[in-house]
């Protein structure tokens, strides 16, 4: 009888996160090579055409500087989000993606365009910080504390004030992260799905 070996969680997490970052870079190379037409597909608040941005904005960036500033946080935080449960990490990412994009579409200034993986970055930070405490899991608490120590100053980006920065994307991404942590809590003793 043939045996199958299961990919370790960290391997799958690394492969998915690396693949996602590769997609971000390919899209930005294509965008730059064609005169930046993809930039218009970000979230455009309260417009019908802007709804597509809810799905596309986290994979689009306004130039290579924007993408470079998001690459390392996406690699680190995306990996950590997926590492302790790929299905849970993907579900958390989906919640953050939709809540962040929808919040920007509903509440950001009309006439603006919002794009970038920072919606996910802020969501992952909050998800990683909160989930361990809700799950009462020592390893997840330690990961959350480490993430908070590394990225706590970044969280100030949820406040308005820096021109050209979508604080709404940061704020609603963070709220999506909290909602994801709350929704996907699996405390010991409660029925939970195995990932």
In the prediction, which pLDDT does 48 show? 95
Residues 130-146: tens digit of each pLDDT: 999 999 999 999 999 99
Domain boundaries of the chain, sorted by first residue: 9-183
Look at residue 79 in the predicted model and tell me its pLDDT: 98
Average the pLDDT over each of 40-44, 49-53, 168-172, 186-190 and give the range with the smallest value: 186-190
Question: Which pLDDT belongs to residue 193?
Answer: 38
State the Cα–Cα distance between residues 163 and 186, nearest whole angstrom.
39
* Third-level CATH fold of 9-183: Rhomboid-like fold (1.20.1540)
Residue 20 has a pLDDT of: 98
Q: Where are the alpha helices (DSSP H) in the chain?
A: 9-33, 52-56, 64-83, 86-107, 118-135, 138-151, 167-183
pTM comes to 0.90
Phi, psi of 114 (to 5 degrees): -120, 130
**Phi, psi at 141, each rounded to 5°:** -65, -45
- State mean pLDDT over 156-181: 88
What tokens does 181 get? 């942590």
Q: What is the pLDDT at residue 1?
A: 54
Residue 7: what pLDDT?
64
Tell me the pLDDT tens digit for each residue of 44-72: 999 999 999 999 999 999 999 999 999 99
Q: Which band of pLDDT confidence, cut at 50, 70 and 90, is reported for residue 5?
A: low
* Percent of all residues in the chain with a pLDDT value above 70, rounded to a whole number: 91
pLDDT, the chain, mean: 90
Residue 90 neighbours by CB under 8 Å, 6+ apart: 16, 82
Q: Which position has the higher pLDDT, 118 or 4? A: 118
Of 97, 84, 81, nearest to 147 by C-alpha is 81
- Structure confidence by residue, pLDDT tens digits, 65-108: 999 999 999 999 999 999 979 999 999 999 999 999 999 999 99
């Amino acid at each position: 009888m043939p045996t199958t070996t299961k990919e370790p969680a960290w391997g799958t997490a690394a492969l998915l996160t690396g693949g996602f970052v590769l997609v971000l870079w390919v899209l930005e190379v294509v965008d730059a090579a064609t005169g930046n037409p993809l930039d218009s597909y970000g979230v455009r608040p309260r417009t019908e055409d802007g709804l597509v941005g809810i799905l596309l904005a986290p994979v689009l960036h306004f130039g290579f500087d924007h993408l470079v500033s998001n690459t390392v946080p996406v690699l680190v935080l995306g990996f950590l989000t997926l590492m302790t449960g790929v299905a849970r990490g993907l579900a958390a990412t989906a919640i953050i993606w939709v809540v962040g994009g929808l919040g920007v579409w509903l509440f950001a200034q009309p006439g603006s365009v919002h794009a970038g993986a920072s919606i996910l970055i802020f969501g992952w930070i909050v998800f990683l910080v909160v989930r361990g405490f809700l799950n009462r899991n020592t390893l997840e608490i330690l990961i959350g504390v480490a993430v908070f120590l590394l990225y706590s100053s970044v969280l100030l980006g949820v406040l308005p004030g820096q021109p050209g920065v979508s604080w709404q994307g940061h704020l609603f991404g963070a709220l999506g992260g909290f909602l994801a942590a709350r929704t996907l809590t699996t405390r010991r003793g409660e029925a939970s799905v195995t990932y």
